[in-house]
Amino acid sequence: MNYTKIDQYISDHLSDSLAELARLCAQPSISAQGVGIAECAQLVGAMLAARGFKVEIVPTNGHPIVYAEAEGASDKTLLFYNHYDVQPPEPLELWTTPAFEPTIREGKMYARGVSDDKGHFQSRLAALDAFKAVTGSYPCRIKFVVEGEEETSSASLPGFVYQNAEKLRADACVWEFGSVDHENRPVQYLGLRGICYVELTVETADYDAHSGLAGSIFPNAGWRLVWALNTLKDSGERILIPGFYEDVKPPSARDLELLAALPDDAPDLLTRYGLKRGFLKGMMGGPEFQREAVFVPTCTICGLTSGYQEKGAKTVLPAKASAKVDFRLVPDQDPEDIARKLRKHLDAQGFEDVRIDVLGTEHASRTDPDDPFVQMAIRTARDVYQKEVIVAPMVGGSGPTYPFAKALHVPIVTVGCGYPGARVHAPDENIVISLFELGIKHTAHLLGEFAQG
C-alpha cells in the first residue's frame, strides 16, 4: 500500500489534531480526585461519535469506561486500549503554564495528560481521520476501550474485559502508549511485569506512649514492622517468602537475544538518579543487568510511616506503623497467590499481628516477539521513523494488559508519541509535536498493513 496521500493528509491536518487534543487536555479528568471524570468521558464519547463510532458510556463501580466500535473496509478487527484519566496536577507551582491550559512552545505541547494518555488517544483518531478522508472508510473494524481508572490501578477494567470478551473480540490490540528512546529510536515493548501492592500495618496499642515510660515494657509497632519486613527479603535481595519464586518462568533464549541487543541505559540511569552506591549487586550494565531489571520479581518498600517524623526529637513509642510494599511479578506468578504466601509466611514468622491490605494486583503479561502483528508494528515503525527499532521483550512496569491477553488472546503492541523527556506524572508534562506526527503516521501505516495482512 502506498501511504503518500495518507501521510500528506496527516501533515496537512496536524494543526487540527493539535487543536482537538488541546480541547481534550483542557478538560480535567483526575481519577484520584474524582475531578472532571464524567465530563471527560462524555467528551471522549462525543469525539468518537462524531467519527461515526457507536459509543457506549459504561458505568462501573468506579469511573465509567467509554466503549466504541465502527466498521471498516476489511473485516479484521483492531482494538485500541486507552485511558482518559490523568494524574493529579500537583505541585501546581512547578508548572510553567497551568496544567489544564494546554500551551505550545518550542515545538512541544504542555498539559497534564497530553502524553499520558490523551496525545496517544488523539493520534489514533488522527490516523483514522486520514484513512477516512483518503480512502473513504476505515481500513478495518475498529474497537476502542477508553477507561477512566488507569492512574488509580484500573480496578474496574479486568471485570469489564472478562464480561465482554465476546463483544471486544479482536485480532490484535494497540496498547495505550508508545515511545522513542533517548536517540529517537522507536521502542517496541512486548511485556509488562505484574504487581501485588500491599500495605502492612501493625497496631500495638490505642495510642502512642512516652518512650521513657514504655520503652522497656510496651511492644513497639515500629519495631514489629521492621522485624516483619526484615523477614521478607535479605540484604542480598533474595525474597524469603517460601514458594515466592516457584512459578517464575525464566526468560527464553529468544528473550536473552533481544535483551543483548538493547542499548545499555545503565550509565544514563546512574547519572540521572545520582545513585550514590551504584546499582544493586555491584551490577554495571550489560545483558545481566537488563535481565535483572525486568525478568526478576521484586519486593520494594515504597513507603514507611510510624510515630514522630517531624524535625528534632520527640520521645514517643508509636502505637502504629505501616509500610507500602510492591511486589513486581514475572510470568507465571499469580498476584493473589503471592498475597496468600505472604500471609502464610508472616504467620509462620510470628507476625500474625501484621495486617495485610492488598491495594492492587495485576498479572504479568507478554506478547510473543515473533508474532506477525509484532513484526508488522516493528516494520512499519522502521519505515516511518527511518530508524532501527528497539525491541524490549519485557519492561519493569505494570499495566492491565493481562485481561486483554487472557480473555481475547490478542497480540499487543505499543505505538504512540511518547519520549523520555515527556515528564509523565510530573509538572510540565509534554509531547514533542514532530514525534506526535510520527506517532500518527506509524498508527496509520500499522492500520493499513493490518487491514490488508
**Which residues ranging from 304 to 333 are in contact with its own copies (CB under 8 A)?**
304-309, 312-319, 321, 323-324, 326, 328
The burial class, CB within 10 Å (0-12 / 13-18 / 19+), for 311 is exposed
Of 167 and 314, which has the nearer Cβ to its own copies?
314
| Closest C-alpha to 84, from 14, 191, 182, 176 | 176
Shortest distance (Å) from residue 277 CB to its own copies = 6
In this structure, are residues 80 and 143 in contact, taking their beta carbons and an 8 Å threshold?
Answer: yes
> Which residues between 332 and 351 bind its own copies (CB under 8 A)?
350
Identity of the residue, 49 or 426, whose beta carbon is nearer to its own copies in the bound complex:
426
Considering only residues 219, 243, 372, 421, which one is a binding residue for its own copies as defined by CB under 8 A? 219
Cα separation, 367 vs 254, whole angstroms: 13
CB of 107 to its own copies, least distance (A): 26
Find the part of the chain contacting its own copies (CB under 8 A) among 6-14, 76-84, 119-127, 198-206: 198-206
Count other C-beta atoms under 10 Å from residue 235's C-beta: 6
CB of 339 to its own copies, least distance (A): 14
**Burial level of 181, CB count in 10 A (0-12/13-18/19+)?**
middle
Grid cell 469525539 — which residue? 47
Q: Which of residues 87-106 bind its own copies (CB under 8 A)?
A: none
Judged by beta carbon, residue 2 or residue 273, the one nearer its own copies is: 273
**Least Cβ distance, residue 7 to its own copies (angstroms):** 34
Restricting to residues 14-43, name those near its own copies by CB under 8 A. 32
Q: Residue 444 in contact with residue 7, Cβ under 8 Å?
A: yes
Q: Which three cell numbers stand for residue 342?
A: 505472604
CA distances from 234 to 4, 242, 413, 434 (A): 58, 13, 36, 47
Of 33 and 135, which CB lies nearer to its own copies in the complex structure? 33
Please, which of residues 256-275 interact with its own copies by CB under 8 A?
A: 269, 273-275
Sign for the CA dihedral angle at 376, 15, 80, 101 comes to positive
Considering beta carbons, is residue 278 or 372 the nearer one to its own copies? 278
CB 202 within 8 A of CB 320: yes
50 burial (CB, 10 Å; 0-12 / 13-18 / 19+) is exposed
Minimum CB–partner distance for residue 394 and its own copies (Å): 11
Query: Looking at beta carbons only, is 71 or 265 nearer to its own copies?
Result: 265
**Distance separating alpha carbons of residues 85 and 29, to the nearest angstrom:** 5
Cβ distance to its own copies smaller for residue 27 or 290? 290
Task: For the CB of residue 80, give the shortest distance to its own copies in the complex, in Å.
Answer: 23
By the 8 A CB rule, do 98 and 112 touch? Answer: no
Q: Looking at beta carbons only, is 98 or 420 nearer to its own copies?
A: 420
Helix (H, G, I), strand (E, B) or coil at 200: strand
Q: State how far the Cα of 88 lies from the Cα of 151, in Å rounded to an integer.
A: 9
Partners of residue 361 on adjacent β-strands: 196
Please give the distance of CA 225 from its chain centroid, rounded to a whole number: 30
Q: Which residues within the stretch 155-194 sit at the binding site for its own copies (CB under 8 A)?
A: 193
Q: Restricting to residues 379-418, name those near its own copies by CB under 8 A.
A: 395-398
Of 6, 70, 187, 214, the one binding its own copies (CB under 8 A) is 214
User: Among 59, 107, 215, 242, which residue sits at the site for its own copies (rule: CB under 8 A)?
Assistant: 215
CA 12 to chain centre: 32
Identify residues 414-443 at the interface with its own copies (CB under 8 A). Answer: none
Tell me the closest approach of the beta carbon of residue 66 to its own copies, in angstroms.
24
CB 68 → its own copies: shortest distance, Å? 29
Q: Which residue lies nearer to its own copies by CB, 220 or 443?
A: 220
Interface region with its own copies, contact rule CB under 8 A, candidates 56-64, 127-135, 226-234, 382-390: 226-234
Q: Which residues partner with 444 through β-bridges?
A: none
**CA distances (Å), 451 to each of 8, 70, 287, 402, 445, in order?**
20, 14, 37, 25, 10
Q: Which is nearer to its own copies, 77 or 154 (CB)?
A: 154
For residue 306, the minimal CB distance to its own copies (Å) is: 4
217 touches its own copies (CB under 8 A): yes
Nearer residue to its own copies within complex by CB, 58 or 283: 283
Single out the residue of 57, 58, 226, 261 in contact with its own copies (rule: CB under 8 A): 226
User: Toward its own copies, which CB reaches closer, 114 or 293?
Assistant: 293
Give the three-class secondary structure for 337: helix
Tell the smallest beta-carbon distance from residue 364 to its own copies (Å). 11
CA–CA dist 226, 224 (Å, integer): 6
Number of residues this chain uses to bind its own copies (CB under 8 A): 80
Is 341 strand, coil or helix?
Answer: helix
Distance CA 198, CA 244 (A): 15
